[in-house]
Structure 1
Amino acid sequence: MTFSIAARCARTKMFGISVSSSSPSVAARCAHARAGVGAVATQNITDPTLGPDGLDLLAYMSAPDALAWLTRDAPDIEYRQITMIDAEGKTAAFSGKKTLGVHGTATAQNVVAAGNLLSSEAIPDKMVAAFLADESADLGDRILAAMKTALAEGGEEGPVHSAGMLIVDEVRWPIADLRVDWHESDPIGELEKLWALWKPQAKDYVTRALNPSSAPAYGVPGDER
């Protein structure tokens, strides 16, 4: 029901994760990231607790080691599909024996992709290639390029209806947490529109939190600074 990508920008050390599914509000359950630590996607028959638990492990160990610990004792693990990326850009992926339909994962330095109920098992590899195509581009742009590639290659067997993208940087909160919780025909296209709106403002909102006296004007009625 889902395809996702988790990635790290080697230049900025930022982490990002994006996910799309035929079910509503997929990013609320499946996308997890922590600044300076890494990112985790937990999908298929989703257990959202695996996201925070995985991030806690990534704070102390590599992605392959963290995944081994996480999957060793987790209940019903054969229903889960998990990807991880750590602070060094190492990646790991797991698909339980009860992962739905055509499924697959693909890993490379700084990027990991996975999907289930796919139209083709080659889709994760295509997502990774799309992400790596332009390492000079913004992390969010690269992630969305991978998501659009997945869709162009057939995506899920059926239509997707929700999508989201989470990006973390140096602060404790996400600098982008964008979600299309339901769209009848093109949630990834709507997510791309949201990113185009948010991207030029993202740093301003960090400044407003850390140093409001020097923050840019809010651009709303009544703001006379």
Structure 2
Amino acid sequence: MTFSIIGRCAQTGQLGIAISSSSIAVGARCPWVRSGVGAVATQNVTLPALGPQILDLLEDQQLAPAAALDRALGTDSWHEYRQVTVIDGQGRTAFFSGNEALGVHHAVAGEQCVAAGNLLEGVHVIEAMAQAFGSASGMLAERLLAAMHAAMAAGGEAGPVHSAALKIVGDVSWPIADLRVDWADADPIGKLDDLWQAYRPQMQDYLVRALNPTTAPSYGVPGDE
């Protein structure tokens, strides 16, 4: 029903998630990122509260990912239905798949990444994601998207995929990229990639506009001078 990859860029320190699901609007419930702190994917029978809870434990309690994950799952009496992955600002990782995770499920940690999924065509789908992230070049977003394409090429989910999302944080407190395909009858990952290709040339401009409007470029729309 869902597969995802969380990752960190060793060069920039950026953290991010790419995720896809057969369910509508996966980006509204499952990806959680916080600048300098970490990234969390909460999936399977999703409890969205686990995302900010784990990020708080990483930031406020200075817990390692495994300890933060264990602490958060200990507060959830239905944790055996959850699948959760964590990476912190140092690139340390942890993951959990409960005994009630749906269908074929798997999770694996790679170099500064964790890939996980459920209701899969096979466990090789997740292995392909981690390998693709490790071998891809370019920006973090592009490496995450390469992993998603690799998952689909390896068979993806057992059923059709309908939604996808990409979320990246950098040096500022808000996401520098937060892109979603909430529903598509076909190829939401391809549509998400198209969104990224359109957004990438403007990403730095939006940062400039936020941090120093006097140097922001004009987009030629009414009132934008």
When normalised by structure 1's length, the TM-score is 0.96
Does structure 1 retain, via aligned residues, the 8 Å contact 2:110–2:134? no
**Aligned-pair RMSD on alpha carbons?**
1.0
Amino acid at match of 2:19: V
Does structure 1 retain, via aligned residues, the 8 Å contact 2:65–2:88? yes
The residue that corresponds to 2:41 in the other structure is: 41
- Deviations for 1:29-64, whole angstroms, at most 9, x for unmatched residues? 000000000100000000000011011112112212
What CA distance in whole angstroms lies between the structure 2 residues aligned with 1:10 and 1:185?
33
What CA distance in whole angstroms lies between the structure 2 residues aligned with 1:108 and 1:131?
8
What CA distance in whole angstroms lies between the structure 2 residues aligned with 1:77 and 1:18?
23
Q: Give 5+ residue unaligned stretches, structure 2.
A: none
What CA distance in whole angstroms lies between the structure 1 residues aligned with 2:141 and 2:153?
18
Q: Give 5+ residue unaligned stretches, structure 1.
A: none
What CA distance in whole angstroms lies between the structure 2 residues aligned with 1:127 and 1:31?
17
- Deviations for 1:170-200, whole angstroms, at most 9, x for unmatched residues? 1111111100000001100000000000011
Does structure 2 retain, via aligned residues, the 8 Å contact 1:90–1:109? no
What CA distance in whole angstroms lies between the structure 2 residues aligned with 1:58 and 1:128?
23
What CA distance in whole angstroms lies between the structure 2 residues aligned with 1:57 and 1:16?
18
User: What is the aligned-residue identity percentage?
Assistant: 55
Does structure 1 retain, via aligned residues, the 8 Å contact 2:108–2:127? yes
- Deviations for 1:96-150, whole angstroms, at most 9, x for unmatched residues? 000000000010231001000000112111101100103x411010000000000
Please state if 1:57 is matched with 2:57.
yes
Number of positions where the alignment pairs a residue of Structure 1 with one of Structure 2: 223
The residue that corresponds to 2:90 in the other structure is: 88
Amino acid at match of 2:210: A
Structural mapping, 1:90-109, within 5 Å:
90-109=92-111
Please state if 1:23 is matched with 2:1.
no
The residue that corresponds to 1:122 in the other structure is: 124
Runs of 4+ in 1 over 4 A off after TM superposition: none
Q: CA deviation at 1:72?
A: 2.2
Does structure 2 retain, via aligned residues, the 8 Å contact 1:2–1:44? yes
The residue that corresponds to 2:200 in the other structure is: 199
What CA distance in whole angstroms lies between the structure 1 residues aligned with 2:57 and 2:46?
19
The residue that corresponds to 2:153 in the other structure is: 152
**Residue 73 of structure 1: SS of its match in structure 2?**
coil
